[in-house]
Structure 1
Amino acid sequence: MNEIKEWLEECKEKYGNLSGEQLKLIALFFMLLDHVGYRMTLWNLVDNTKLWIHIGDIFRVFGRIAFPIFAFLVAEGFRYTSDRKMYALRMFVFAVISEIPFDMLKNYSMHKNNDYSRFFDISSQNVMLTFFLAIVMLVLIEEYKLRKTTYYAYYEYVYVIGFCIFAYIVRCDYHYFGILLVWFFYKYVDEFYICVLFVALMYFIQGEYMGVVSLIPIFLYNGKRTNKLMSSRESKMHKYFFYVFYPLHMLILSFLFNSTII
Structure 2
Amino acid sequence: MKTKWGISGSVLKWFAVITMVIDHFGASVLETYMMNVWGRSPLGNLFSDHWNELLRVDRILRYIGRPAFPIFCFLLVEGFLHTRDVKKYAMRLGIFALISEIPFDLAVRGKFFDWQYQNVYITLLLGLLTIWALKTQKDVWYLRLVIAAAGCALGELVHCDYGAMGVALIVVLYLMRESRFQQCITGAICTYWELPAPLAFIPIWFYNGERGRQPKWFFYWFYPVHLLIYGVIGSWILPGILL
TM-score (norm 1): 0.80
Mapped partners of 2:63, 2:204: distance in 1: 18
Match of 1:27 among 5, 16, 21: 16
Kindly tell me the number of residue pairs found equivalent between the two proteins.
226
Are 2:184 and 1:182 equivalent residues in the alignment?
no
Deviation at 1:189?
1.9
Mapped partners of 2:153, 2:227: distance in 1: 27
Deviation at 1:210?
1.1
TM-score (norm 2): 0.86
Report the RMSD for the aligned CA atoms in angstroms.
2.0
CA contact (8 A) 1:126 1:172 kept: yes
Mapped partners of 1:199, 1:188: distance in 2: 9
Are 2:73 and 1:71 equivalent residues in the alignment?
yes
Mapped partners of 1:56, 1:144: distance in 2: 44
Alignment of 1:145-184 (within 5 A): 145=138, 152-184=140-172
Match of 1:240 among 217, 230, 234: 217
Identity %: 35
Alignment of 1:1-262 (within 5 A): 16-39=5-28, 40-42=30-32, 43-45=34-36, 46=39, 47-48=47-48, 49-50=50-51, 51-108=53-110, 110=111, 119-145=112-138, 152-204=140-192, 206=193, 208-226=194-212, 238-258=215-235, 259=237, 260-261=240-241
Mapped partners of 1:138, 1:198: distance in 2: 17
Mapped partners of 2:162, 2:220: distance in 1: 18
Q: Deviations over 1:148-179 (max 9, x none)?
A: xx5x1221111000110111011111111111
Deviation at 1:54?
1.6
Deviation at 1:143?
2.6
CA contact (8 A) 1:85 1:139 kept: no
Mapped partners of 2:206, 2:54: distance in 1: 34
The residue type equivalent to 1:17 in the other structure is G
Q: Deviations over 1:173-212 (max 9, x none)?
A: 11111111111222212223333333333333x2x32111
CA contact (8 A) 2:169 2:190 kept: no
Consecutive unaligned residues of structure 1, counting only runs of 5 or more, are 1-8, 111-118, 229-234
The residue type equivalent to 2:130 in the other structure is M
Mapped partners of 1:159, 1:97: distance in 2: 27
Deviation at 1:250?
0.2
